[in-house]
Every structure is written in structure tokens, then in C-alpha cells.
Structure 1
Amino acid sequence: MNNKLKIDLVEESQQNSFPKNQWFVVALSKELKDDFIARKVLNIPMILFRDPQGKVTALEDRCCHRGMPLSSGHLENGQIRCGYHGLLYNATGQCVEVPGQDKVPNKAKVKNYHVIEKQGLIWFWYSFEYETPNSEVPDYPYHEHEDYLYDGDVYHYDTPYQLIHDNLMDLSHLAYVHLKTIGGNAKIHMNAEMKVTQGDNQVVVKRHMLASDPPPTYSMAYPFQAKVDRWQEIDFRVSHIRIWTGAIDTGTDSLDNPERNGFNMRGFHAITPETENTCHYFWTMSTNPQHDRERIAKVVIEQTRLTFDEDKVVIEAQFKNLKQFEHKEMVGIHIDVGLVRARRIIADLI
């Protein structure tokens, strides 16, 4: 297979499109408590808040009167009041009050976007004309599974979103970037058995590392006896990536057994473009501690946060340098198979 990878940054900077007819994450549920969020996604400035019944709504971040951002205003009992002239909008985007006059103009309304909250995530249907979704909101059961505890956070990246896809589709970098957390022996990582399969807008990369030393995060979280058999299963979807990693004591089970026990980390990674060259990274980590569950889950999640801090430094430095050498071609190697296929899917959809 040809693993040649070329990223034309000039072309990307001029392009103003992303894969449409997709569900993208725009917020974590825990972000929306007592106030609104102003967030630009897919070149769309929007404001998210909860209506009086607690249901999430998303409106374009623009007052229809003089164009002031609604996010400059404030929330009043599940409605948003513009901070310029006080027009009040309900959760549908309809203006319901104009201070100083009795009649509200019929045209006084703003766009309401299709959002759904599910399993701690807030999804936005991004389409050609924002019509009714033609697919179900993705399901992620590990946010409500009795064996798992989870938490997560949001990062803002000054980099195109597909560079984060590239990073997640290639976990061989763990041994070099994440030595103090989830890394491990570099030689084992680079020579791991790897299988890549592809379906309908989906790429799955499976990597097995047998008889390896457990990395620091694993040893802190699970009572391994000695050597471990590790796995990394990366499941690319258009708007997010699911990564299942973990380990068992060497030889205690088959890594092809989908019900294998041991230490499990199930990462959810939703990378939503903000603009062509910036993005939001919504991540969660679900893990299955066998004892002292709350403490160990907290340790695993904090260790995960440290790894993402390390990734952020690397990816933003990479993009900065790519801009300096924007006409230089990148040479592909064996570990690039998954990320190249993922990029081709995105390109075909655009």
C-alpha cells in the first residue's frame, strides 16, 4: 500500500469545508451548568445553554438587531438577553421581548441548531442546510457502564484537526512522547504486530505488544505480576476516535478475546474543527478499577491528562514547523497506514 502522506497547508487554509451530514461534539455536558458557552465550531459561532427545563439548546451567536454577539449578554431563566439593547431570546431562537416596545417584529429571531445531549456529550448535527439528521446520535456506552468510571476535559488547539487524527491513529509515538506515563519500550512499540481494517467511513487499527513491561500508569493502576500483554485498538470515525488500550498478565488470556479482563482504558476523542487551522478536542477516559475505584480512576484520568498535555505541545510545534516548510513533502513509513486511510475518508467526504 502507498503510505505517502502529503499535507498542502496552503490548500487547506483556503478551503472552507468539512465533512457534512455528520454528528460533531460541541461540548461536554458538565460544561453547561449555570451559564452559557460561546463556542465557534466548523466556522459557526454559536452559544449553548439550557432552557428552563434543562434541555440543551444552541443558537447562532448573533443578535438579529445590530449583530452583537449574544454571548456578550447574560442568561435569564433559560433565555438569553443581548448585552447591547436587551432583546430577549428563548431556546428556539425567537425574540420574545424588545425593551421599550410592545410588539416584537416577526423577523426577530436567530438560527437554532440541532443539538442532542447523550451520555455526557452534546452533539451537533452539521449538514448542508442543517436539516433533520439522517442518522442516529453515536452511542458510547462506557460513559454509563457499571464497570467503568470516567471523566474528561476540553482542549483548544492552534492546529488543523486532522493533525490530531494523525497523532491518535499512530500510537507508536507513545514510547517517545509519553515515557513517564503510558509509553513503554520503543522497540516493542515500533515493531508491534499491526492489523488495519476499513469499513464504511471507519478505520480500525489493532496493535499487540506481547510480553512487555507495563508502563508507569498501568503499574500504578493495576496489580500486574510481571510482564504484560498489551493491546491498542484504534477505531476511527469521521467526527471522533475511540481508543481501547490495556493489558493483562502475559499469557493469561487471548488478546483476540473481546471480553478479556485486566486493565482497561477506553478513550473517547472528539476532534471538532473550529476553523481550518484551529480545533476543539473533547476527550474522556473510562477505566475499570478493580479496587479503590474512585482513587485509581482519578489517578488514571490525571495521568491521561498529562499525556494529552504532552501531545498538545508536540502537535502545535509540528504545525508551526509545517507552516515554515509548507512545500516540503512528508515521507511515509509503515506506521502511517491507518492515518493515511483516515485522511482519504475525510477527503472523499469533503
Structure 2
Amino acid sequence: MTTTCIPIKNVTTTDTAAAAKRFPLDQWYVAGFSSEFTDKPIARTFLNQKVVLFRTGEGQVAALEDRCCHRSLPLSCGTVEGTGVRCGYHGLLYAPNGQCIEIPGQERIPSKAKVKAYHVIEKNQIIWIWMPRDEAADPNRAPPDYPFHDDPRYKFGSGNYHYQSPWQLIHDNLLDLSHLGYVHLLTIGGDAKLHMNAPMKVTSEGDHVKVVRLMPDSSPPPTYRKAWPFGEKCERWQEIEFDVTHLRIWTGAVEPDTDAIDDPERGGFHMRGFHGITPETDETCHYFWSMSSTKHPDMPENIDAVIQQTAFTFDEDRTIIEAQYRNMLEFGEKASWIDIHVDAGANRARRIVADLIKKQAPAELSGS
């Protein structure tokens, strides 16, 4: 089966040394979800590097440099076969390790007939790709765990967006949920004043940041009412965990006078969001999201509506963030920022990313 070859505009492939000045390396980034990979190659760019992803007939997910070593046609313009991906120009067949294993009409395969291969692992229905500082080195740790995709207590839906904005603007947005009361009034919003005034606890350890807001005596927003038989009030929480390549956001509520909202084993309505933010270029990025939610026994069919509403909130976020970035470009150096109290988590995350880049950048690029 053939696949449509879609050109990627405004994308340049950089070497690892240049990438080290722009993005944290030696990291597992999100490359997609398991459900996306069927019988066609997928072209994506990660950290300015063009990649083709595919699932072989044996079920293995692989990632190669998106370039045939013969005449440089993107391998994503080709087809997936049982043992690899075949170039759509002259039929060279590549195995998941990047080695050419067949040249039609030619018995001898040159040793140089190969392309760069990336380490990829499929775990919890997420595809992770290792973006290394040293291309010859193997990953030094396993990808993160995200058990909620496989937890029978939850049902989840997923999707992905392409953003015309740098990746860290999305970090800023997700680490500060005070915007819910202004941007998401029809879904997961709620009382804007309550969001802005709720005590916010920000902690960090290593390369991780955690932000917690507890909001007792809240009015359930529309999405919550669709999924759970709340009355006029609920006890609401927001817990955000930042990792360099993704965020985990646990929000939800319990009915008054039931479980404590700081009890790790609390029941009630849960929304566990997974947010894989992977840079495409310096100015664009991928956003791979999923939402896992619990269901009330009296309202079991409302989970699909919750997932649809979640996707709608991400549409709203993308509109805001892309408009923000366009304005930043228009105003240029005039677009200076001030910080307010809700920015504490986002600022810590930016410092972590900046420190990682500074530590890894080669001396000739970092100016030291």
C-alpha cells in the first residue's frame, strides 16, 4: 500500500552538537501513541531532526532518519513491509536498525548503505524516542512509566496537535492552571477568582517540578457535572508534575464530606492528563495528549463526552498560545514580560531546561 508523501516546510536537519545548544538531550521524548502506527510510515521532525516512524509486520516500532542513503528521498514516502520500510524511489529496503537489507536488482549491498537509527520503546501505549547527546551511546535509563493507560479503573482517549509556537510556551500554560477560569469557561473552568486565589504549593527535586492547588468549596464546572452527579459544591484539586519531556496533570473532585482532597487514595472524579511536549523546530512543536478518567456507576456513558470536552479545551489552549507567540514575534524585543504569583512553577521549569542546555552545549557553541 502506498502512502502520501507530505513535504515538511521550514524544517532543517541539524547535527547533535547544534541540537545541544537548543534542547535537552539524553532524554526520552514522546514520538506518538501506539494506536497511530499501523501499516504506513509516519514522518515527524523532532528537535530539528527529520524522522520516519513505522511498525513492522512483526509489530516492532522503529524510527530512522527520514532519508534514503541512495538519492535522499524521504523514506516516509515509501511503504512498510514485514521486515522494514522500503524507499518509494528505487526500492531499497531498510531494517529497523537502519541497515539496508535489499537493493532490487543488485545482490551486493554496500556496507555504507544505511541510515541513522533511533532507539524507540513502546510502553503504556506511548511511543518514546531517545534523543542522545552521543549518537553512539545507548540510553542510560528506561522511559518513564505511565500506568493509567493500562489501569482498568480508567478509560482514556488521546490525540496530538502541531503547534506554531516554541515548546516551552506550552509548559508555561500547563504549569499554571489559573487560566482555566478565563480560557475554559464552558468545560473545565470554574470560578476564576477561586483559581487565582487558591494557595499554590510549588516544589522541585532534580529535574522535576510539582505544583499543587487545593480548592475546597468549589462549584463543579460543566465537564465535571457531565461525568459525576455533583451537587452545588465539590472539593477540587489540581496536581501538576513537570518532567523535561512531558507533564502529568491529575485533576478532579470529590463530593463534600467524603474523601479528603489531599488523600493519595481519594476516590471521586479523576482526570489524569498526559502531556508529551516534543520540540519539532525552534519555533514549532508536537503536543501528544491523553486523558484518562474514572466513571461513576450511575453515569458510565459520559466518559466519551469528557474526552471530547478535553480535546475542546486543548483547541482553546492552542488558539491562545499561538496568538501569544504571534504577538511576541510582532512586538519583538518590546515584548518584555513581568511575573505574577501564578508563574512560580513555570519559572522553575524554564530554569531546569536552561541549566540542562547550558551543561551539555559544546564549548564552541555556548561561548565559554
Indicate whether the TM-score tops 0.5: yes
Classify 1:108/1:293 alpha carbon distance in 2 versus 1 (closer, same or farther; 3 Å).
farther
Question: How far did residue 292 of structure 1 move?
Answer: 6.2
* Higher alpha-carbon deviation: 73-82 or 324-333: 73-82
Q: Deviations over 1:121-149 (max 9, x none)?
A: 00011111232111121001111112111
* Aligned partners of 2:57 and 2:81 also within 8 Å: no
1:1-350 to 2 correspondence within 5 Å? 17-130=22-135, 131-291=137-297, 295-327=301-333, 328-350=335-357
Q: Deviations over 1:170-192 (max 9, x none)?
A: 00000000000000011111101
Q: Deviations over 1:31-78 (max 9, x none)?
A: 001211111111111111112310111111011111111111112224
Q: Using structure 1 for the length normalisation, give the TM-score.
A: 0.94
Classify 1:23/1:294 alpha carbon distance in 2 versus 1 (closer, same or farther; 3 Å).
farther
Q: Match of 2:332, SS?
A: coil
* % identity of equivalent residues: 56
Q: Match of 1:244, SS?
A: strand
Q: Match of 2:31, SS?
A: strand
CA distance in 1, matches of 2:160, 2:231: 35
CA distance in 2, matches of 1:193, 1:320: 32
Question: How far did residue 262 of structure 1 move?
Answer: 0.8
CA distance in 1, matches of 2:169, 2:60: 33
Classify 1:294/1:132 alpha carbon distance in 2 versus 1 (closer, same or farther; 3 Å).
farther
Q: Deviations over 1:189-222 (max 9, x none)?
A: 1101111111110110001111111000000100
* Aligned partners of 2:20 and 2:133 also within 8 Å: no
CA distance in 2, matches of 1:140, 1:25: 12
Q: Root-mean-square deviation (CA), in Å?
A: 1.6
Question: How far did residue 250 of structure 1 move?
Answer: 2.3
Q: AA paired with 1:33?
A: T
Structure 2 residues without counterparts, runs of 5 or longer: 1-18, 358-368
* Higher alpha-carbon deviation: 33-42 or 233-242: 33-42
CA distance in 2, matches of 1:248, 1:192: 17
Q: Match of 2:343, SS?
A: helix
* Aligned partners of 1:16 and 1:276 also within 8 Å: no
CA distance in 1, matches of 2:138, 2:268: 42
Q: Deviations over 1:88-145 (max 9, x none)?
A: 1122211122122221111111111100000110001111123211112100111111
Q: Match of 1:325, SS?
A: helix
CA distance in 2, matches of 1:166, 1:342: 8
Question: How far did residue 251 of structure 1 move?
Answer: 3.3
* Aligned partners of 2:43 and 2:76 also within 8 Å: yes
Q: Deviations over 1:234-282 (max 9, x none)?
A: 0001100000000111232222211111110000001000001000000
CA distance in 1, matches of 2:311, 2:144: 24
Structure 1 residues without counterparts, runs of 5 or longer: 1-13
- Divergent runs of 4+, >3 A: none
Question: How far did residue 293 of structure 1 move?
Answer: 6.8
CA distance in 2, matches of 1:33, 1:83: 18
Q: Using structure 2 for the length normalisation, give the TM-score.
A: 0.89
What residue number does 1:6 align with? none
What residue number does 1:7 align with? none
* Aligned partners of 2:100 and 2:113 also within 8 Å: yes
Question: How far did residue 323 of structure 1 move?
Answer: 0.6
CA distance in 2, matches of 1:282, 1:77: 27
Classify 1:24/1:15 alpha carbon distance in 2 versus 1 (closer, same or farther; 3 Å).
closer
Classify 1:320/1:221 alpha carbon distance in 2 versus 1 (closer, same or farther; 3 Å).
same
What residue number does 1:10 align with? none
